[in-house]
Amino acid sequence: MRSPFKLRSRFNINNYSNLGQRVITGLIGASVIVAGSIYSEWLYFLIFGLILIFSQMEFYKLSGLDGMLPLKSFGTFLGFIIFALTFLIELQHLQDKYYFLIFPLASLVFFIKLYRKSDKKPFTGVAFTFLGIFYVAVPFSLLNLAAFSVDGTFHYEIIIGSLFILWASDTGAYFAGTKFGKTKLFERVSPKKSWEGFLGGAFLAFTIAYVLSIYFNSLPEWQWFCITGIIIIAGTYGDLIESLFKRSIEIKDSGKILPGHGGFMDRFDGLLLSAPFIAAFLKIF
């Protein structure tokens, strides 16, 4: 009789095709995010806080490959502080006056760089430190505003609903583009993306949005459709912008931690550009 250990040891995700790895990793990751967000707002905070940290560290690592010297540890720490402040303030555990802590903390970047003698271009490092915060930490922090936007209480439906729509858009675009893709969407930046894939992703995203509007009543149907339009457009641009960033430093994936997907930025690039628009839309309307 074979031992359970030997049976388990034979499972290696790297033995699967790229699509197989993509599906397995996606299902595991989605299950953790969805279950955690539904179970508790604090588990949501922990999961997305970790995603933020890994994503921001990835960005700084990639910046370093291009010769930039951002403050990796302090920049990531500051990004997480912004995320934590928005969450605690929206949860009404802190007053909104504590947002003012961000400004003196951010100013410390200049002080730290002043004492780094090895930096030949310190202000380039300063700029990329702040870019990492603005590009990665701020969008994740704005998700907190979106989650609490309806009545001041945490609505996991807004978070996982937006993710379902984003994943549907990505999945529809992948399969429609693979099967029917002929007309290039933005060949200079991403040669594999096509208009057929974009339309396939849009169709599946709106289908999922309709289903969500039936079961998730925290938002009316028209708002789910507006969020879907935001995600389809902004998410596509987010993917293209990250592709442009990777192309500028001549790499294929932002990392290797997620089999079939690459890095955290590869997986959440669409969310990074969608989140500010979603939060603004829900706060205004």
Render pLDDT for 245-254 as a digit per residue (tens, 0 to 9).
Answer: 888 887 776 6
SS (H, E, C) the chain: CCCHHHHHHCCCHHHCCHHHHHHHHHHHHHHHHHHHHHHCHHHHHHHHHHHHHHHHHHHHHHHHHCCCCCCHHHHHHHHHHHHHHHHHHHCCCCCHHHHHHHHHHHHHHHHHHHCCCCCCCHHHHHHHHHHHHHHHHHHHHHHHHHHCCCCCCCCHHHHHHHHHHHHHHHHHHHHHHHHHCCCEEECCCEEEEEHHHHHHHHHHHHHHHHHHHHHCCCCCHHHHHHHHHHHHHHHHHHHHHHHHHHHHCCCCCCCCCECCCECHHHHHHHHHHHHHHHHHHHHHC
Q: What is the pLDDT of residue 253?
A: 64
Render pLDDT for 15-52 as a digit per residue (tens, 0 to 9).
Answer: 556 667 777 877 898 999 999 999 999 999 999 999 99
Render pLDDT for 115-168 as a digit per residue (tens, 0 to 9).
Answer: 887 777 889 999 999 999 999 999 999 999 999 999 899 999 999 999 999 999
Query: What band does 259 get if pLDDT is binned at 50, 70 and 90?
Result: low
What number is the average pLDDT over the span 239-246?
89
